[in-house]
Structure 1
Amino acid sequence: MADGITLEAIVHHFKSFKSNIQHPNIHIFHYADMRRDLLSHTRKLASVLGLKIGDEMLAAIAESMQFENMQANARASAKEETLRSTTFKDPSAFFDSASSRKWEGKLSDEDLLAFHKRLAELLPEADARWLQSGGELPV
């Protein structure tokens, strides 16, 4: 469990959207894919929303969505009540690290075996692989 969220809850969330992927208003984006190629995913998001945005503007939007830029601009764009919040004394703290796979180097081989065993019980292999790393969403 990380951040109070169980593996079962994460898998349930994924499955609930994937089971409805045939609907035109359901689109699944993976954080790792966005980190790998934010511009093409920004373009895809604009398309999903029916927005016609030129390449120059798309590049500017993607640049503003870079983790480092969002973190740097968090305090400047935070509302006064957010600045007084006890949850985020520093609004940039919301933008933690822009990384996935935070368990690497922290879990033992035994922990990882238990994780992969449980994940295999919950999801087909292709879905488990996508959930961990992104890429092409299995159908």
Structure 2
Amino acid sequence: MSDLTDDTEHNYETFLQDAVNTGIIWSLVTGEEDDAEFVMVDAEQAERAGVMLFFSEIDFAKALCVEEWADCCPRAIDLDEFIDKWLPGMQSDGYLVGVNWTADLEGFEQEPLELSLDLLETD
């Protein structure tokens, strides 16, 4: 496992490699199992619905589960389901994705279908 850095491009590449190698990605949820909601942050682009955060390692997700997000917990998502269902749905709903953001919420926002293409092109 590679550590996250201030280099968002490095963190993005780490996400792609780890996700393809493990077949699993992680998101953050809050609430009970039946009522769990996925955590989102505001998008820099005001016209967008928000940014959903995803991580390639459970520890990267856990790093954000402090202070105001202390009630959050990581949830695993199968990579194939993520590519086939999640990303197209997020694209049509106007969401962006943020992958491997740091504990300081540093990272870049990306179109879901661009992430899908990058994942499919990663060896």
Instruction: State TM-score, norm by structure 1.
Output: 0.24
With a CA cutoff of 8 Å and minimum separation of 6, indicate the structure with the bigger relative contact order: 2
Greater gyration radius: 1
**1 or 2, which has the higher helix percentage?**
1
**1 or 2, which has the higher strand percentage?**
2
